A and B are shown apart, each in its own frame.
Chain A
Amino acid sequence: MPLTSADALSLSKSFRDLSVAIGDYRFAHWDALSEADRKMLEDEEWSILNASSDMVTKAVGLALDESDPAAKKVQGATATALKAVKTLKDISKVIGVATATVGLAAAVISKDPGAIAKNAKAVFDAATA
């Protein structure tokens, strides 16, 4: 069965606890232990602590791997959303022109020269905004 990030984290804690326990023993029996024994125990403590650190590295790597497919979906959706923002901004401009054009059409039908001039300017402004 493959190792999961949770498994790696759990192993990390077990290794750390073991390293701490050996260290506690070393300090508790400091005077009773020979210098060579203390050195040997200390080396073991560091090796086990580094194994714990390695498991933390594994846990992080696995957590990233496990969430990679979801991250790719978020990335894709973000790109799509930004594209939609651009499209909507373009459309907002077009809608502005459309609204102004409709006003112009109404003015033409009403045969009101003042309104025609005003609405023609509105169309021009919207189109060149």
Chain B
Amino acid sequence: MLAFPVYVNPLVLLLRGAAGCFVTKAIEKAGERDYILCEPVACDVTQGQRRRQTAEGGSMRLHRSGQGWRAVAVACVVLVVSGCVSLGAVRDFASTSSDAVQYSHLVNAYAGTPTRLKRYEPQSQWSELDRQATEREAQRERLLLRQKLIQEYMDALGQLAADDLASYDNQLDALGAAVKNAKFADQNEAAAFSAVSRRQRSVTALKGPFQVVMGAMVSIVEKDFGSDVANERVALDKYYTTLQREGRDPAGLAALAEWREMREGQLRDREAAIGSYTTVLKTIAAGHHKLYESRHELSKPEIKAEIHTYTRRLKEASTAIARL
């Protein structure tokens, strides 16, 4: 059963449009792409139901009036105006970003540092380390949620870049402008109509907040997690150097050296992972910024090529993490 959306019923708009002569204006308005509008427009179910009833009435009137050819013209023009802009590059970038950002190992390692430090530190320090472990465990949840937020945002961006949706968005623009220009009695309908398009564009309006979130994550991973590894290395050095100073047994000292090397290797791997994951985060931020900057020309080959470069960089960094 066909379910009309709450916001608008394009069927009635199309058919109502048959009575008007707003085709030219529709084309002109469709070309005006304002991607920075993001205010929501309230629209309740009651309105939608009212429009549905209107749709049936409107359709009946059209058949009686015999002005169907104009409706054909409107529909054809709207479909031509919608164009066939493929957003495959945006979709790939969004999908790769969503996959790449899902890496919980570093967050878990950070949360576990105080507990790991217990192996190096005297028992007199353990209560302090337990306190820090509790605090970091609470942070672990927040950090993972932040990663999930980025993942979901990029997923949403990918869905909005689906070719069919992009096409319908354009159709909605043209139809919305047509309704507005034709000065139909129900202007609320026109406002609700264009609101749908605005909702789609709201993602690209998020440049500021998204960059703040990404900037904070980059800082946490690159600097804070980096400092955390540096602290663990200092603890490791103190512990093994002290034992090696005090040790007299050659076999014991050899075993200690091997253990030390193994632990140092683990820290090197974590540092490498921090480097690669920082690249992932910075690339997502830079790629998103590029999308925002190029929002009016996403179909240009050179822009697509640049977006592909970001996607490739993300894949390389993800592969590097996976190898660790």
Measured CB to CB, the residues of A under 8 A from B are 5, 9, 12-13, 16, 19-20, 23, 27, 30, 42-43, 45-47, 49-50, 52-54, 56-57, 59-61, 63-64, 66-67, 69-71, 73-75, 77-78, 80-85, 87-95, 97-99, 101-103, 105-106, 108-109, 127-128
Assembly CA distance A19 to B231 (angstroms): 10
Q: Name the residue on B nearest A109 (C-beta).
A: B68
**A105 B203 Cβ-Cβ under 8 A:** no
**B2 A57 Cβ-Cβ under 8 A:** no
**B234 A20 Cβ-Cβ under 8 A:** yes
Q: Name the residue on A nearest B165 (C-beta).
A: A88
Residues of A near B40 (CB, < 8 A) are: 80
B121-154, CB under 8 A of A: which get 1 and which 0? 1101100110010011001001100100110110
Assembly CA distance A22 to B228 (angstroms): 19
Assembly CA distance A92 to B196 (angstroms): 12
**B149 A63 Cβ-Cβ under 8 A:** no
Q: Name the residue on A nearest B159 (C-beta).
A: A85
Assembly CA distance A16 to B129 (angstroms): 16
**B213 A83 Cβ-Cβ under 8 A:** no
Q: Is the interface of A mostly helix, strand, loop or mixed?
A: helix
Known: A81-B202, A105-B15. 8 other contacts (CB 8 A): A52-B231, A53-B114, A63-B216, A67-B217, A77-B209, A82-B156, A101-B11, A102-B74
**B14 A78 Cβ-Cβ under 8 A:** no
Instruction: State whether A53 and B121 are in contact (beta carbons under 8 Å apart), knowing that A42-B242, A98-B10 are contacts in the complex.
Output: no
| Cβ-defined partner of A56 (8 Å) among B38, B66, B209, B228 | B228
Whether B160 is near chain A, meaning CB under 8 Å from some CB there, is: yes
- The interface on chain B, measured as residues whose beta carbon lies within 8 A of the other chain's beta carbons, has a size of 88
**B2 A94 Cβ-Cβ under 8 A:** yes
| Cβ-defined partner of A59 (8 Å) among B146, B199, B210, B223 | B223
**A46 B122 Cβ-Cβ under 8 A:** yes
**A74 B149 Cβ-Cβ under 8 A:** yes
**B216 A88 Cβ-Cβ under 8 A:** no
Residues of B near A16 (CB, < 8 A) are: 227, 230-231, 234
Whether B208 is near chain A, meaning CB under 8 Å from some CB there, is: yes
Q: Which of B268-294 contact A (CB under 8 A)?
A: none
**A90 B3 Cβ-Cβ under 8 A:** yes
| Cβ-defined partner of A57 (8 Å) among B135, B206, B210, B213 | B135
**B160 A84 Cβ-Cβ under 8 A:** yes
A50 to chain B, nearest CB (A): 5
**B238 A94 Cβ-Cβ under 8 A:** no
| Cβ-defined partner of A98 (8 Å) among B11, B223, B231 | B11
